[in-house]
Amino acid sequence: MTDRFGKHSYYDEDSGRSLTIVDEAEHSVMSHEQLAALRAEKQRQDAIKAGGIRHYVTAYHGPVRKLNDILSLNEIGAIMKLVPYMRFDKDGALMLDTKRMGIAEIAKVIGKASRWSVTLVGNLVDTGVLVAEKEGRRNVYIVAEAYHTIGRAVSGTPFTKVYQTKTRTDIANVSIQAAGFLYKMIPFIHYEHLYLCCNPNVRDSEQIRHLSQNRFAEEVGVDHETSVRCMRELISAGFVMRSEAFGAKIIRMNPDVMFRKRTKDERDDITEFVRGEFRQALNADKQGDRGEVAVDERKLPF
């Protein structure tokens, strides 16, 4: 048995494995999956703070809307869960770590059994969303450029940027149907103010016609009960925010999830305001309303 920095390692003959005993007062133990999730979250927070180049997938509005008519909510949700895994340096191929994604990897990412995933992937290939390629004896997959590209955009074609870091980190925390509900929002996000609306290209903010949850669900063919559950999941995961006043509820997209303006505008005043609203909501979720309520009227901040 070896002792290194409070850790004791030994070979267990019964299991045939090398095991490590650690002092809980000095060390914490986590799985490789937990460690990967922690690293991904740190990467997401660092990217937000740095404001530098962030990888995104281009989602073209016309083709995305057509998918609503030919695919089920589960199938559309699978696309939403897969696009964050398109690799810029691999011409958009779906990659899980350093491995091209076949059925097993896709099943893991979308959180479904392999048998179910075989049928789903077959349907996505038949409709032209996924393209199968041979890698040795197995099929691996790439997202068709008609729907999504990475690293470039087709000139003159309306599109939305789907940022990969936030989406990849958090999309695993929602159901495949909630992911599909999020994907269906892509063509309906206002280009500047990020509201879910009927006229997402209107320049005058006073002319924005907001889409309620019920009206949006009706527009994209999702039943009421499912839409309520999906929206609840998306709000809890920080993909969208819903605010209420005057008897109306308005829905806004997180700019670290989807964005329509030029890259140089990622930090403009409007976007930073919306980003700040999501940040405050996250802080409120973490802190709750615990602690002393202390209002010092003698010390004004101005």
Write down all domains in the chain, each with its CATH number in brackets: 56-258+265-282 (1.10.10.10)
Predicted local distance difference test score (pLDDT) of residue 83: 95
User: What would the pLDDT profile of 71-101 be if each residue is shown by its tens digit?
Assistant: 999 999 999 999 999 998 788 899 998 899 9
C-alpha R_g of the chain: 22
Highest mean pLDDT among 27-41, 219-233, 256-270: 219-233
* CA distance readout (Å), 141 to 92, 99, 146, 162, 230: 10, 11, 15, 19, 27
Alpha helices in the chain (DSSP H): 32-50, 61-70, 73-82, 103-110, 114-126, 164-170, 176-184, 213-220, 224-236, 269-287
Q: What pLDDT is attached to residue 171?
A: 94
Q: In which band, very low, low, confident or very high, does the pLDDT at 67 lie, cut at 50, 70 and 90?
A: very high
What is the C-alpha to C-alpha distance for residues 61 and 77, in angstroms, rounded to an integer?
A: 16
Query: Is the per-residue pLDDT at 233 higher than 70?
Result: yes
Q: Which of residues 125 and 289 earns the better pLDDT score? A: 125
pTM, entire model: 0.79
pLDDT at 50 over 50: no
Percent of the chain with pLDDT over 70: 83
Is residue 62 pLDDT above 70, yes or no?
yes
Using the predicted structure, report yes or no on whether residue 43 has a pLDDT greater than 70.
no
Q: Is the pLDDT of residue 32 over 70?
A: no
For 178-208, what is each residue's pLDDT tens digit?
999 999 999 999 999 999 999 999 999 999 9
Position 51 scores a pLDDT of 43
pLDDT at 296: 74
**3-7, 129-133, 159-163, range with the lowest pLDDT:** 3-7
∠ at Cα 185 (79, 106), nearest 5°? 10
Strand, coil or helix: 239: coil
Strand partners, 100: 95
pLDDT above 80: residue 281: yes
- Mean pLDDT over all residues of the chain? 87
